Amino acid sequence: MFNSMLKVAALGLFSVVNIASASELKSGDLVEVEGKVAKVYVDSTRSMVKGQQLQIHRLLATNSVLEGDPLYSYQEVGKVLVDEVTNSQYINVRITQGSFKLGDKIKIKN
């Protein structure tokens, strides 16, 4: 009985870790910004294509005063298009809506 409960707990923990790491792989970090063009570090460019539209997310205050609600969350602040895949971990993007700030995340939809 204890052994089966341990297996279920381990499976649940593995599922949570797997989901968390998968969500991290679906975002990129802005590393260089120049006007309406930026360089983005991504874990892998295998699924990236020129012209693909991506979302810009920024950590912003939620303005919630309810207990248990997060004070900050990543919220969409714009959109970009992939201009060029430079190597296996960097892409160049061009802003189409919104604005860039260092620290913004680029959400990659698969």
Beta strands in 5-89 (DSSP E): 27-34, 37-41, 53-61, 72-85
Query: Cα separation of 68 and 101, whole Å?
Result: 28
pLDDT tens series, the chain, 110 aa? 545 554 555 445 444 433 333 444 368 888 888 888 999 888 777 778 889 999 999 989 999 889 999 998 889 999 999 999 888 788 999 999 998 888 888 887 65
Domains of the chain: 27-107 (2.40.10.410)
Is the pTM higher than 0.85?
A: no
